Amino acid sequence: MEFRKLKAEEIDCRISQIASNYCMLLLYKDARVDMNVLDETVGCMNWKKSYLRDNANCVVSIYDENKKEWVSKEDTGTESFSEAEKGLASDSFKRACFNWGIGRELYTAPSIIIFPSKEMIPKGKETEFYQNEKGKYETKTRFWVEYIDYDNNRNIKDLIIRDNKNHIRFSQLTTETQKQLEKDLMTMKKLIEQREEKDDKFDREKFYEYYKATSDNTMLISQIKDAISKLEEKK
């Protein structure tokens, strides 16, 4: 049995280390993603979970139609900083699902290092990564996975991470993917220029506003592809 690879929208970013001049991110999944993938792959009636040692261990079992029996895999979790008991149960469940292969490709993520940006300095602060009252570094910036792709061995080969203002903060792409994205961007720019030449009512600023973007660089990959499709329809 093989579970599908996780989609970009199913992956979250968590800060693992932070200082004044950098922060490091980890990619992770939440328990809802595991439940959705299990339901989708084996059916909601064909898997179950149980807990041992006060939620420290979770056992995820999947029914094998050929053997006519339940097959189980187990792992141990760790407590979260808030709602310790609930966090422990959730973490042990996610780890047991890793044993089944759900999201295991996240272990192949590169080292994701983010450097401070002047555009993301919060009001009243001097830097994006600042010290709180207890002297610990933190940030108001939130990061999310825009794009991810894998090779034939389920290793992450392409990854783009943006912040909550849609700036690209980390990018690792194969040459092939990079060329395709650059080609799509150039295609969109040419189509915009053609529209401006032929249509006096076309407004480039409103075009960006439609996608909640300020420029080409803040448009998402999915938005660029959608824009190409719409602009080509209007030829």
Is 186 in contact with 178 (CB distance < 8 Å)?
no
Summarize the chain as % helix, strand, coil (round to 5): 35, 25, 35
Residue 216 has a pLDDT of: 83
pLDDT of residue 79: 72
Query: CATH fold of 30-102, please?
Result: Enolase-like; domain 1 (3.30.390)
Residue 50 · residue 70 · CB < 8 Å: no
Q: Note down pLDDT in tens along the chain; length 235 residues.
A: 899 999 999 999 999 999 999 999 999 999 999 999 999 999 999 999 999 988 889 999 999 999 999 999 999 988 765 455 678 899 999 999 999 999 999 999 999 999 999 999 999 999 999 999 999 999 999 999 999 999 999 999 999 999 999 999 999 999 999 999 999 999 999 999 999 999 989 999 999 999 998 888 889 999 999 999 999 986 5
Q: Where in the chain is the domain with CATH 3.30.390.80?
A: 30-102
Give all strands (DSSP E) within the chain, no chain letters.
12-18, 23-28, 47-52, 57-64, 69-76, 112-114, 130-131, 137-138, 143-150, 156-163, 168-172
What six digits make up the tokens of 44?
């909601």
For residue 153 the two structure tokens come to 């061995």
pLDDT of the residue at 1: 83
Q: 3-state SS of 126-155? A: CCCCEECCCCCEECCCCEEEEEEEECCCCC
pLDDT given at position 233: 84
pLDDT at 82: 47
Q: What single string gives the DSSP state of each residue in 92-109?
A: HHHHHHHHHTTTGGGGG-
Which residues are registered as beta bridge partners of 113?
24
